[in-house]
Structure 1
Amino acid sequence: MVDILISYAIYICPSPPARPSSDRGEEVYISSPNPQGMCEAESKSSVLFIATVAAFLPAFANSAINVALPPIGVEFGMDAVLLGWVVTSHLLAMAVFMVPLGRAADIWGRKRFFTLGMGIFAASSLFCAFPSSGSALIFFRLFQGMASAMIFGTAVALLTSVFPPGERGRALGINVTAVYLGLSLGPFLGGILTSYLGWRSIFLVNVPLGAWVVLLTLRRLEGEWVEAAGERFDWLGSSIYALALISTVYGLTSLPSAAGAGFLALGLLGLLAFGLVELRSRSPVLNVRLFRDNRVFALSNLAALINYGATFAVAFVLTLYLQTVKGLSPLAAGFVLASQPAVQAVLSPWAGRLSDRIEAQVVASAGMGFVAAGLLLLALGLDGETGLGFIVAVLALLGLGFAFFSSPNTNAIMSSVEKRDYGVASGMVGTMRSIGMMASMAIAMTFLSIFMGRVQVTPEVYPQFLEAVTAVLSVFFVLCVLGIFASLARGKVRRGE
């Protein structure tokens, strides 16, 4: 699949002119920060606007689908664990394709892979709107996740390419704001769409918007960004990486069964083999030496992995809780869930600017502390009688923590590497997010399976469901505390160029 996408991307988007490289003595593509001959400020604005709009769409789709899960479950007869795969399938595809396609974009052009990703996103959204079964929906969500990988794996790299270190935090903060604005509006607009137009409308709105971004990109950005031109693509490493990751995720989501433990062990061994292969590769798909030799890069990515692993499934379990135990409509549940990403969307640009002045280990660690406090409050206070005001207040606290963590941590990762690794670093940001989200969903689905079994959430199992939610939130709190130490240990950022 990866080789087909790469071949198609190269075919539909011709390369810019080549020139000899004075430092490597080989032909490389011209990296153009000024498409269409625009001034530098206008070029930056164009890239920022397009990357920001693109960041909004997958985030909106992922957030909006949460409030539509109960109606989808009723229509297709899906239990809570299978509904989790509607979310997890998208994340799995993102994780599998993020790094290989981010590396391919470094070699053959970030703009062309970004454009292709937006096109696939729009097309796959159309198919997701009309599945014949729950299994078909999960299948089409895989393609939507692959497209999201192409978008996220290149958008941050494009921003990092055109914004210098002193301005990068602000740009990345705006980009993160778009992500969490999508997450904010997702529950609200998703609730409206599901209540009045049905859950299929959540996917249909992405079709014209995705097509518009494609046209905007082709019209406004005529240059190309290729920092690793002439290097070889690592097909062997990419294949091992994909198979190992699929086995690991399937194993996690199949626990506590013996088969799940077996797949998990096989996947972890595959990831170890991947690391050994990449250390010997002359042009690795993932420069694992960055993890070995770059402490800021390694620990910042670890902090991101823990943060997303400890938080993503909160929305999943809360949407089930609000629409079953509390009996709220999808629209009302969306209002409640929107409080967390709304706070984050407002504060992320400011947190990003702050990370240009204050070390990320301080700002991001404080954010992780706020998140840990919010998770502890939910774990201790959530039951059948919990008031909505308490839930909204805690979600707002989580939003504050996410804002202080996400933008500074992303800025730290991207500023700790050289330009030729921007695509891989951008892909790694998305990969840590995707793997963390999948781990979060795996933890939630495992506890739901242990406490409830493979049944739909009905009044008969509400006590077991609440026990599972409390266990999930408790595990998330412990993970978040560990994340604080990882964030503090990263040290000062080396501003790459």
Structure 2
Amino acid sequence: MLLTEEQRFTLIAVCITSFLTPFTGSAINIAIPAIGKDIGANIVALTWISTSFMLASAALLLPVGSMADIKGRKPIFMAGIAIFGLTGLVGGLARTSSLLLAMRVLQGMGGALIFSTGMAILTAVTPPGMRGKFLGINSAVVYVGVSVGPVLGGFITHYLGWRYIFFFITFLTLVALLAATRIKTDVAPGKMTGFDLAGAAFYTSGLVALMYGLSIIATAAMGKWLLGLGVVLLALFVYRELNSESPLIELRVLLRNRSFAFSNLAAFINYMATSGVTFLLSIYLQMVKGLSAQAAGMVMLSQPVIMALVSPYSGRMSDKVEPQIVATWGMALTMVGLIMYQFVNRDTSLIYVAITLVVMGLGFGLFASPNNNAVMSSVPAHQYGIASSTLSTMRLVGQSFSMTVVALIIGAVMGKVKIDAAEIGPFLLSMRLILGLFAVTCVGGIFASLARGTIHAEPDRLKG
């Protein structure tokens, strides 16, 4: 079946934006040491260059997703692309850590606009018989972004400088924006009765206050007050969503469905335990082992390659074997990989580091697809939108928590030292503490994965 012009351009626009987000994160992580040296940022500020993007995206994803369902997806999608590209351009020109950090916050906001609309637009323009193929292509592009990010980011940083990563991002957004102008289909569901403004305010402000307060609690007195404020605001958000006629997220569905609830909890824990690893490993390989950005990128490539190879097979396996079993093994292997990092020091061979990355990649590859399958299979068809948005929120919030913990422990152990003046001993101690904590967290993830129960044995529950 030949694609229409709209389908071709929609696929191009959505696939480029799906590539951009993982590519940007992994490429910038590789460039972190170079960024720190160039603009004189301390190591705590550098953690926020990575954290700020994820936190801004997580804070806006639910409100923007709800707004897109009411007002239409195409304008929000295109605005997200434009913001992503413009902030990339200004970020590449930034001479101070403050300006770069501000651009990363705005870029995260643009990312939220893209996350909440791209998949829905792609689904809307494709007929049911081709939908799986289109979504499969889009998923493959995400893995390409994760895999290419360290290598291409390292190459660009080594030969051109880290600023050209941002310029490359801007170029790709221009292509995506031109393709998006050819999208015509923009059907918003008619069931939405209104936008929960109070819920959006509680969620966004509560999440930001909680994350920032946690990250500075060891170094600033206001940290505990922000942390407490965040807890209160998020509690108000939960109360609001349970009683709202048009909630941002259907917490009532989450609380009634054991498999759905524990699968999302497992996703949150897994992303929290793994997302900070690439940031730490980038610094370790370049500042401790003395590798160039390009060489560090090649070493780090082993994890996403294993993820990309294993995920399709684990996904198919979870159609035959309970996702509970496959995903739990994945979580356990992730924990093993994190424990292996406890033995990393300045004399550790690169072969050992690569093996640890392979174990981590195998663990995540076994976990992600079966867990996604469990989430989507635990709800009836008319709740797929709720399931998808909830899972995306768990991913982004988990990633944000991961980098917040990194900022907290690095700030407490090392202080606000410049990255080129940082001592290897305190950094290695920080790294072991962080990854040790993440390994312990995986124990909770294993229990959450087991507690979800069976999916294939309960098909009747999902009818209607």
Q: With structure 2 as the length reference, what TM-score do the two structures score?
A: 0.90
For residues 74-97 of structure 1, the C-alpha deviation after alignment (integer angstroms, 9 at most, x for no partner) is: 122111111001011101110111
* Other-structure match for 2:69: 106
* Other-structure match for 1:244: 206
8 A Cα contact 2:13 2:177, kept in partner: no
Q: 1:161 to 1:460 in 2, by over 3 A?
A: closer
User: Superposed, which structure 2 residues align to 1:338-357 within 5 Å?
Assistant: 338-357=301-320
Question: What is the rounded CA distance, in whole Å, between the counterparts of 1:314 and 1:269 in structure 2?
Answer: 30
Residue of structure 2 aligned with 1:378, choices 321, 325, 341: 341
Question: What is the rounded CA distance, in whole Å, between the counterparts of 1:488 and 1:159 in structure 2?
Answer: 33
Question: What is the rounded CA distance, in whole Å, between the counterparts of 1:329 and 1:461 in structure 2?
Answer: 18
Question: What is the rounded CA distance, in whole Å, between the counterparts of 2:106 and 2:286 in structure 1?
Answer: 28
* Other-structure match for 1:227: 189
8 A Cα contact 2:328 2:446, kept in partner: yes
Q: 1:294 to 1:45 in 2, by over 3 A?
A: farther
Residue of structure 1 aligned with 2:369, choices 372, 383, 407: 407
Residue of structure 2 aligned with 1:141, choices 104, 113, 120: 104
8 A Cα contact 2:121 2:186, kept in partner: no
Q: In the alignment, is residue 122 of structure 1 matched against residue 85 of structure 2?
A: yes
How far has the Cα of 1:268 moved from its partner?
1.1
Q: 1:46 to 1:215 in 2, by over 3 A?
A: closer
Question: What is the rounded CA distance, in whole Å, between the counterparts of 1:299 and 1:417 in structure 2?
Answer: 13
Q: In the alignment, is residue 453 of structure 1 matched against residue 415 of structure 2?
A: yes
Q: In the alignment, is residue 71 of structure 1 matched against residue 34 of structure 2?
A: yes
For residues 5-32 of structure 1, the C-alpha deviation after alignment (integer angstroms, 9 at most, x for no partner) is: xxxxxxxxxxxxxxxxxxxxxxxxxxxx
Q: 1:229 to 1:114 in 2, by over 3 A?
A: farther
How far has the Cα of 1:115 moved from its partner?
3.0
User: Superposed, which structure 2 residues align to 1:3-402 within 5 Å?
Assistant: 50-158=13-121, 174-219=137-182, 221-257=183-219, 258-379=221-342, 381-402=343-364
Q: 1:208 to 1:93 in 2, by over 3 A?
A: same
Gaps of 5+ in 1: 1-37
Q: 1:416 to 1:162 in 2, by over 3 A?
A: farther
One-letter code of the match for 1:325?
V
Question: What is the rounded CA distance, in whole Å, between the counterparts of 2:110 and 2:422 in structure 1?
Answer: 40
How far has the Cα of 1:110 moved from its partner?
3.4
Moved more, 426-435 or 315-324: 426-435
Residue of structure 2 aligned with 1:482, choices 438, 444, 463: 444
8 A Cα contact 1:176 1:345, kept in partner: no
Q: In the alignment, is residue 463 of structure 1 matched against residue 442 of structure 2?
A: no
How far has the Cα of 1:229 moved from its partner?
4.5
Name the SS of the counterpart of 1:282 in structure 2. coil
8 A Cα contact 2:288 2:346, kept in partner: yes
How far has the Cα of 1:459 moved from its partner?
6.9
Question: What is the rounded CA distance, in whole Å, between the counterparts of 2:336 and 2:438 in structure 1?
Answer: 11
Question: What is the rounded CA distance, in whole Å, between the counterparts of 2:112 and 2:316 in structure 1?
Answer: 26
How far has the Cα of 1:404 moved from its partner?
1.8
How far has the Cα of 1:460 moved from its partner?
6.5
8 A Cα contact 2:405 2:434, kept in partner: yes
8 A Cα contact 1:310 1:440, kept in partner: yes
One-letter code of the match for 2:346?
G
Question: What is the rounded CA distance, in whole Å, between the counterparts of 2:463 and 2:211 in structure 1?
Answer: 33
Question: What is the rounded CA distance, in whole Å, between the counterparts of 1:41 and 1:353 in structure 2?
Answer: 30
Question: What is the rounded CA distance, in whole Å, between the counterparts of 1:115 and 1:107 in structure 2?
Answer: 16
How far has the Cα of 1:170 moved from its partner?
7.4
Question: What is the rounded CA distance, in whole Å, between the counterparts of 1:473 and 1:378 in structure 2?
Answer: 7
Q: 1:460 to 1:217 in 2, by over 3 A?
A: closer
Q: With structure 1 as the length reference, what TM-score do the two structures score?
A: 0.85
8 A Cα contact 2:25 2:50, kept in partner: yes
One-letter code of the match for 1:307?
N
Question: What is the rounded CA distance, in whole Å, between the counterparts of 2:310 and 2:121 in structure 1?
Answer: 23
Question: What is the rounded CA distance, in whole Å, between the counterparts of 1:349 and 1:174 in structure 2?
Answer: 12
Gaps of 5+ in 2: 456-460
Name the SS of the counterpart of 2:181 in structure 1. helix
Q: 1:235 to 1:459 in 2, by over 3 A?
A: closer
Question: What is the rounded CA distance, in whole Å, between the counterparts of 1:310 and 1:337 in structure 2?
Answer: 17
Q: 1:406 to 1:47 in 2, by over 3 A?
A: farther
- Count of paired positions: 458
8 A Cα contact 1:243 1:270, kept in partner: yes
Q: 1:52 to 1:346 in 2, by over 3 A?
A: farther
For residues 369-388 of structure 1, the C-alpha deviation after alignment (integer angstroms, 9 at most, x for no partner) is: 22111111112x20111000
Question: What is the rounded CA distance, in whole Å, between the counterparts of 2:327 and 2:139 in structure 1?
Answer: 14
Name the SS of the counterpart of 2:116 in structure 1. helix
Question: What is the rounded CA distance, in whole Å, between the counterparts of 1:383 and 1:231 in structure 2?
Answer: 57
